[in-house]
Structure 1
C-alpha cells in the first residue's frame, strides 16, 4: 500500500520553515493553511475478497463523489462534477452478470440512519445508462454510467474501516486515518483499471480546518509500504496550458530532510478566478414543467486564458434524476427562434431515460445526462449590457408516487458550467500530470486536445429542491384525496358500463322489432293484391 499526502498552498498563503519538520521518526505539520489531498494505492492482494472479486470482473471501475457544499476548486484540483455519487463501469465480458457490483455498492453506500439516499440497483445493465455515442468516438472505456444523490459518505467511511482497514491488520491505523478524513472531503475518487491491477482511493479537502492543519505523519508499519509527502504551491506556467508546481517533497521514514522541487506540466482542467461564478434556479411556480435557469454575470463571460490556437465555447452538463427529464426532440431542435429565446447554442449530447409518458415508478434506469452549448453575447454587448446573462432549459417532471401531503420533492443537482477550448493541432501531454482527473462524464464528450476552464457555483447548497404535486393520501378537507378519487372513479366506470349496456340492449331490441315486422308487411301486401 502506498500513501500520498499532498498539501497545496495558495500563492498568498503564509509559510514558515518550522511549520513542516521532518525527522527520522516522523514528519510534523503545524497550523498549515492549504488544500489537502490524501491518496491510497492498493494492489489487488491488499484488498478483501468481496472487493477483489468485483474488480477482477471489471475492465474499468471509477467512482466520483462531490459534496453538496460549495468549495474552492484550486489548481491543480480544478475539475468539478455535479453533487452526488457518479459510477462509471465496464465489465470484462459484456455477457457477465453485474449483480456483485450492485451488491457491493449497496453495502458500501447504504441508506444511513438519518435517511440519506444510498445506491438503488440490482443489475448494472438494468439500472445504469449507456453513455452518448460521442463518448465512444472519444475513446472512452466506460460503457455504463450511474448517479445517485448522496449527501454524506458516513456509510462509506464505516465500510472502509470495517472491511478494508480490518483486512490490512497492522496497517489499520494508517487506513483508518485516511478513511476518517473522507468525512470532511469535498471530492472523493475511487479508480480501478485492469491494465494496472491497482485500486486508487483519493479524497480532497479544499480548505483547512480552523487554525490550519496540524498532524504527525509517521513512517509506514510495513516495509513494503511507502508514505510520500508533498508541500506545494501552484501557479500558471509559461505556456497558457501549463501549471507550474514548486515546493518540498519527502518520503517519510527514508528521507532525512525535505527536498525542494519545481516542475511544470500541461493540465486538462484549469480554475478561473473566484469572481467568475454562476447560479442555478427554477422559475416559480414550477408545476410539472420546470424551467432551469443558469445565470452568469457578464463579467464572467469573457474568453478564458486558453492557448491562442484553441476555439472556446461555453457549456453546461446536467445530471438529472429519473423524476426530472428533458424532451430530446424539443431540446435537440435547430430552430433559431427557440435557441435564441433560451440563450442556447444547441444540445450536443444526451443519454439515459427520455420516455415522455412513463411515470417515475415505471422507470428502471437512474436518470439522464445532457450536454448543452450555451450562447454567449457578442463582444460589443459586454460594455452596453449590465444585467446578468441567463440561459434557460425547459424540463419536465414525471408522475411520482402519492404522499400524505400531496407533494413530493425532486432533488436536482446543480450542473457544472465550463469553457471547453479545443485545438486540432495543439500538442497536449496530459499523461505527465500527476494530479490529472478523468472520466467525469462530460470530458469524454470532447476530443483529447481539449482544456476545461471551470466556473465556480455561487450558492450555499448545490442541489435544487422542486416540489412535485402528487396524489394526496391523507384524508381531510378538499376533493382531491384517495377516497374521493376512488369513489368518483367507481361512479364514472359504473355509469359508463350501464350506458354501454343500455346502448347494446337498445340496438338489440330495435333489430328484433324490425325483424318481426318484415313478414307481416309482406303478407298484408299480398292480401291487398
Structure 2
C-alpha cells in the first residue's frame, strides 16, 4: 500500500517547514488554510476477497462522488463535476458486451453494500456511452444523487477495517480513523483498470483551516507534501508551477524541498455561476444559469463555453426541442453537442429503468464584437426541461432536485502539450471524454443560489405536483365514470344521427321519390 497526503495552499498562505515535527511514522505541524488530498494505492492481493472479486470482473471502473455543498478549492485541484454519485464502468469480458450478466449483478450488489445504491439492479439502469466516437471513455455510465458518504464510512469501518485484525489493533484503528474523515470530504474518486491491476482511492477536502497531523503504519510508504502554487516556476502557458516540501514518513527526518511545473488540464476561468428554476415551474420547467461574465479565459476564438448536465430520471431534456436553432438562440444556447441514450420521452419516473440522462450544451455568451462591458458583465442562459409523472404520495407534492451542471470553457491546448504527467490530474469525469485529449477546461465556479433557499447547496430544487394517495380511489372512480359517460354520449349521438338520417331513412326517401 502506498499513500500520498498533500496539503495545497495559496502562495501567500503557506507555513514555515521548520515548524513541522517529524517523529518516525508521524508528522505534525501548525494549522493553516489549505485544501487536502489523500491518495491510497492498493494492489489486488491487499484487498479483501469480496472487493478483489468485484474488481477483477471489471475491465475498468471509475467512481466519482461530489458533495452537494458548495466548497472552495485551490490550484491544481480545480476540476468540477455535478454533485452526486457517478460511475463509469466497462464489463470485464469485451468492451462491446454490456448485456446483463453475473459481472454487472455482482457490481450492483457491491454498490448496494458499500454506497447504499438502490436503483442499480442490472445493465438496464446504465446509460450507454458511444465508444465508437469516444474511445477513451467507459462503456456504461450510472448516476444517483447521494448526499454524503456515511454509508461508505459505515461499510469500511464494519466490514473492511475489521478484516485487518490480523495486522494488529493499530491497523484497525488507523483504518477506521481514515474512514471517518470521509464524512467531511468534498469529493471521492475510486479507479481500477486491468492494465494497472491496482485500486486508487483519492479523497479531497475543501480549502479550510487544516491541522497538519499525519500518521502511518510501518511497511507502508507514506509521502506527505506541503505544496503551493508558484507562478515563478511555470515556463509554459498551459503549466501550473508547484513548490514546497515533501517528506517520506519513516525514511526522512527533515522535509525535502521540491519545485516542479506540469501541464494542467483543469484551470479556473475567474467567472462564477448559479442555477435555479424559473418560477412558476409547471411540468415543463426552465433552468436558468446566471453567469457572472462571458469573457473568454484567453484570447482564443476556438474556445467555447459548455454546460454538462447530469439529470436524474424525474427530469429529462427533449433533444428534438433542443435541435431548433432559432429556439436555442432565444435562450442564449448554441447547440446540443451530446445527449446520453436512451431517453424515453413518455414513461413516468417509476417505470423508467435508466438512472436518468446527461447532456452537453454549448452556450452563447456575449461576443467580443458587442460592447466590452456587455461581454464581461453578467448574463443568463435558459435550458428547457420536462418533468416525468412521479409516484403518488400522501402529500400531493414531491420535492425534486437537479444538481448544478459543470460549466467550463473548452479550449484546445497548445501544440505538443501532454496532460497525463500531472500527478493531480483528474480524468473520467464524463464530459472530458466528449473532447479531444488535448483539450483544456477553464471552469466557471458554481455558487449556491441564495434566493432559492438552497442553503449553500449546489442543487436546484423544484416542487412537483403528484397524485394524492388519499384521493386516488375517487380519481380512479371519477375517471372510469367520465369514460363511461363519454362513451355512452358518443354512442347515443351516433344512434340518434342514424335514426334521423341514417341508411333506413335514406332508402325510404329514395322509394318515395320513385313513386312520385
Q: Deviations over 1:416-435 (max 9, x none)?
A: 11010015x61122121111
Give the match for residue 67 of structure 2: 67
2:226 aligned to 228, 231, 244, which one?
Answer: 231
CA apart distance, 1:323: 0.8
Give the match for residue 177 of structure 1: 177
CA apart distance, 1:18: 4.3
Give the match for residue 464 of structure 1: 460
2:114 aligned to 108, 116, 121, which one?
Answer: 108
CA apart distance, 1:4: 1.2
Give the match for residue 286 of structure 1: 281
1:304 equivalent in alignment to 2:297? yes
1:397 equivalent in alignment to 2:397? no
1:139 equivalent in alignment to 2:139? no
Give the match for residue 452 of structure 2: none
1:328 equivalent in alignment to 2:319? yes
Q: Is the 8 A contact 1:240 1:305 kept in 2?
A: no
Specify whether residues 272 and 12 from structure 1 end up closer, same or farther in structure 2 by C-alpha distance, changes over 3 A only. Answer: farther
Q: Can you give the 5+ residue segments of structure 1 that lack an aligned partner in the other structure? A: 111-117, 475-480
Matches of 2:71 and 2:304, distance apart in 1: 24
Give the match for residue 415 of structure 1: 405
Matches of 2:182 and 2:77, distance apart in 1: 16
Specify whether residues 493 and 380 from structure 1 end up closer, same or farther in structure 2 by C-alpha distance, changes over 3 A only. Answer: closer
Matches of 1:9 and 1:448, distance apart in 2: 28
CA apart distance, 1:360: 1.1
Matches of 2:377 and 2:296, distance apart in 1: 18
1:220 equivalent in alignment to 2:217? yes
Q: Is the 8 A contact 2:32 2:211 kept in 1?
A: yes
Specify whether residues 500 and 56 from structure 1 end up closer, same or farther in structure 2 by C-alpha distance, changes over 3 A only. Answer: same
CA apart distance, 1:403: 1.8
1:120 equivalent in alignment to 2:111? no
Matches of 1:45 and 1:315, distance apart in 2: 42
Matches of 1:158 and 1:430, distance apart in 2: 36
CA apart distance, 1:486: 2.3
What are the residue-to-residue correspondences of 1:240-259 with 2, within 5 Å?
Answer: 240-259=237-256
What are the residue-to-residue correspondences of 1:17-32 with 2, within 5 Å?
Answer: 17-32=17-32
Q: Can you give the 5+ residue segments of structure 2 that lack an aligned partner in the other structure? A: 449-455
What are the residue-to-residue correspondences of 1:417-496 with 2, within 5 Å?
Answer: 417-423=407-413, 426-459=415-448, 460-474=456-470, 481-496=471-486
CA apart distance, 1:387: 6.1
SS in 1 for 2:11: coil
Q: Is the 8 A contact 1:73 1:271 kept in 2?
A: no
Q: Deviations over 1:397-452 (max 9, x none)?
A: 111111222111221000011010015x6112212111111000000000011000
CA apart distance, 1:378: 1.9
Specify whether residues 17 and 496 from structure 1 end up closer, same or farther in structure 2 by C-alpha distance, changes over 3 A only. Answer: closer
Matches of 1:41 and 1:282, distance apart in 2: 41
Matches of 2:402 and 2:25, distance apart in 1: 49
Specify whether residues 264 and 285 from structure 1 end up closer, same or farther in structure 2 by C-alpha distance, changes over 3 A only. Answer: same
Give the match for residue 193 of structure 1: 193
SS in 2 for 1:485: helix
SS in 2 for 1:166: helix
Greater shift, 138-147 or 99-108, is seen at: 138-147
Which of the pair has more CA radius of gyration? 1
Matches of 2:89 and 2:14, distance apart in 1: 42
Q: Deviations over 1:480-520 (max 9, x none)?
A: x324322322322333555577689889999xx97xx99xx
Give the match for residue 151 of structure 1: 147
Specify whether residues 302 and 158 from structure 1 end up closer, same or farther in structure 2 by C-alpha distance, changes over 3 A only. Answer: same
Specify whether residues 235 and 348 from structure 1 end up closer, same or farther in structure 2 by C-alpha distance, changes over 3 A only. Answer: farther
1:345 equivalent in alignment to 2:338? no
Specify whether residues 26 and 46 from structure 1 end up closer, same or farther in structure 2 by C-alpha distance, changes over 3 A only. Answer: same
Matches of 1:412 and 1:193, distance apart in 2: 31
CA apart distance, 1:46: 1.2
2:162 aligned to 162, 166, 187, which one?
Answer: 166
2:265 aligned to 268, 273, 277, which one?
Answer: 268
SS in 2 for 1:487: helix
TM-score (norm 2): 0.89
CA apart distance, 1:207: 2.1
Q: Name the Cα RMSD after superposition.
A: 2.7
CA apart distance, 1:177: 2.5
Question: How many residues of Structure 1 are paired with residues of Structure 2 in the alignment?
Answer: 490
